[in-house]
Structure 1
Amino acid sequence: MDIRIMQYFLAVIREGTISGAAEALHVAQPSLSRQMRELEEELDVILFERGNRRITLTEEGLVLRKRAEEMISLMQQTEDELSQVKNNTTGTIRIGAGESWAFQYIAQVATELTHEYPGIKFNVKSGDSIDLMDELGKGLLDFALVFSDPDPSIYQFVTLPGADMYGVLMRKDSPLAKKKTLTMQDLLSEPVIISRGAQRHFSSDEVLSKLNITATYNLVYNASVMVKEGMGYAITFDRLINTSGESELTFVPLNPKIKIHGKLIWKKYQILSPSIKKFIEKMNVIL
């Protein structure tokens, strides 16, 4: 398998037909069809369900699509890194970040760096700690902002100032909104919306397994919309959703207080590009 064939394979999926992909790629349709058949023969699998008007992937095709996307991403990252070495401080810094008030420190450094070095760009992806650490391990990210303890034998990290505090996001007209603090027991008879990260942080709490979890979420904005519509109470960090003024929502802290410090992590034992070195230097200055 070479990169060009993977690009062709992804183009077929994107366009939905061999003919559409051939036109987009400016190659002959018979040639593209032949290369897709040869790819299947090389891998000894069937990648496409043929006979439909649009391309449908088999289970094996779905697996290859995921890996092909990773291969293309790694190739682009490699080209960027080589360009950075050649052209000094330029290129793209890829950061995966869980939602946190502490992200402001990363944004501050990114702003300073782009002002000093206009050739540096940032690509920021939201996600939870499990997914981000997986992508960091595969080389698809340069840094990840996570809320779990990284393995010090694998990762270097800095702990960001300030802590995110867990609480409950709810409508202002909810009965529980009158309380100054809440316990997990207060939520036992209520529909609860919770993230995978929060489930991990509360895994030692016996009450968690007794909660009526009606939905899980990755991005807190989506959770806030569900809360606004009356779907339930969302367990989340503070200071992520505007609850002031005319907002229909309010945030009530949990008691006892649960505070989590975000950690910016990167892999040990790797060659750092000039732009990544500059980013780390500036992060250490503000911390």
Structure 2
Amino acid sequence: MELRVLRYFLTVAREGSITGAANILHVTQPTLSRQLKDLEQELGKKLFIRSSHSVILTDEGMLLRKRAEEIVDMVGKLEAEFSSKEETISGEIYIGGGETDAMRQIASVAKELQINYPNIRYHLYSGNSDDVTERLDKGLLDFGILIQPADLSKYNYVNIPAKDVWGVIMRKDSPLAFNDTIQAVDLLNVPLICSRQAMKQTLNKNEFADWFGEDFDKLNVVTTYNLAYNAAIMVEEGLGYAITLDKIVNTSSDSTLCFRPLEPRLESSLNIVWKKHQVFSSATDMFLKAIQAKFSN
């Protein structure tokens, strides 16, 4: 299976049309069609459902698309690492994490490095802990930012000297907006929008469930979310109250939303992690040393 053919396949999958993909790839339509048929024969699976004007991925085609994207990303990362000049520190650094204000501290380290090493490039990937650790394990990320609780047994890590504060995002005209803090009893009879991180049982531990107590299973969770931006839109439209972290949703004076912390206060620690026995490029090694120097203080 050739990398070139995988890139052809991904272009067709993205465009939904062999004609459109052929124009982008600067190959003839018969050539592209033949390459795709050869790929299907090689895999022994039908990848597309073809019509006169478009193509739709089969289930096998969708699986190949996911794996092909990972392969192409990995090859691109590898090529970038080998193309870095030995006499200067340059290269690509891939960092994944959820929405957290602690990213400011990572950005501060990157900014300090940029002064002396302007040829280092950063690539950020947003996702929950499962997404991030999956990509870490596959080598698609160099570093991950994980919110506790998380399984750190497979990784080396540094504690980030910051904590995320849990609370509730709501409309400023909501009844609970008149409270300075939110207690468990306040959430029993209202529609809730919860992050999957907050609802997830990790290592038989769920900090939010422990905070809420024995009535956790009685919560009226109407929506779960991965990233808080979309959850904030749901709140704005009056769908419910969002359980989330502070400082990741706009709650300024010109916003229709406000944040109220939980009481008793609930905080989560954070770690920046990387795979054990990982071989770093010069750029990622320099970044790690900067992280360790800054956070160890």
TM score, norm. by length of structure 2: 0.91
Q: Which amino acid aligns with 1:112?
A: E
Aligned length: 287
Q: How much does 1:52 deviate?
A: 4.3
Q: How much does 1:240 deviate?
A: 2.1
Q: Which amino acid aligns with 2:265?
A: K
Q: How much does 1:152 deviate?
A: 4.5
Selected match of 2:259 from 251, 258, 262:
251
Q: How much does 1:126 deviate?
A: 1.4
Q: How much does 1:183 deviate?
A: 2.1
Q: How much does 1:59 deviate?
A: 0.6
Q: Which amino acid aligns with 1:148?
A: Q
Selected match of 1:211 from 215, 219, 226:
219
The residue that corresponds to 2:278 in the other structure is 270
The residue that corresponds to 2:108 in the other structure is 108
- Residues 131 and 152 of structure 1: CA distance in aligned 2, closer, same or farther (over 3 Å): closer
Given that 1:85 and 1:273 are in contact with CA atoms closer than 8 Å, whether structure 2 keeps it comes out as no
Shift >6 Å, 4+ stretches: none
In 1, Cα distance between equivalents of 2:191 and 2:280: 46
- Residues 87 and 199 of structure 1: CA distance in aligned 2, closer, same or farther (over 3 Å): farther
The residue that corresponds to 1:167 in the other structure is 167
Q: How much does 1:148 deviate?
A: 3.0
The residue that corresponds to 1:285 in the other structure is 293
In 1, Cα distance between equivalents of 2:35 and 2:122: 35
Given that 1:89 and 1:119 are in contact with CA atoms closer than 8 Å, whether structure 2 keeps it comes out as yes
Describe the SS at the equivalent of 1:262.
Answer: strand
RMSD of aligned C-alpha atoms?
A: 1.7
In 2, Cα distance between equivalents of 1:6 and 1:27: 15
- Residues 87 and 60 of structure 1: CA distance in aligned 2, closer, same or farther (over 3 Å): farther
Q: How much does 1:208 deviate?
A: 3.0
Describe the SS at the equivalent of 1:118.
Answer: coil
In 1, Cα distance between equivalents of 2:260 and 2:152: 34
In 2, Cα distance between equivalents of 1:171 and 1:14: 38
| Identical columns (%) | 46
The reply on whether 1:192 has 2:192 as its aligned counterpart is: yes
In 2, Cα distance between equivalents of 1:54 and 1:87: 49
Q: Which amino acid aligns with 1:4?
A: R
In 1, Cα distance between equivalents of 2:13 and 2:181: 50
The residue that corresponds to 2:203 in the other structure is none
Unpaired segments ≥5 residues, structure 1: none
Q: How much does 1:253 deviate?
A: 1.3
The residue that corresponds to 2:21 in the other structure is 21
Unpaired segments ≥5 residues, structure 2: 201-205
The reply on whether 1:136 has 2:136 as its aligned counterpart is: yes
Superposed CA offset, 1:216-267 (max 9, x none):
2222122222212211111011122333424322211112221101111111
Given that 1:150 and 1:265 are in contact with CA atoms closer than 8 Å, whether structure 2 keeps it comes out as no
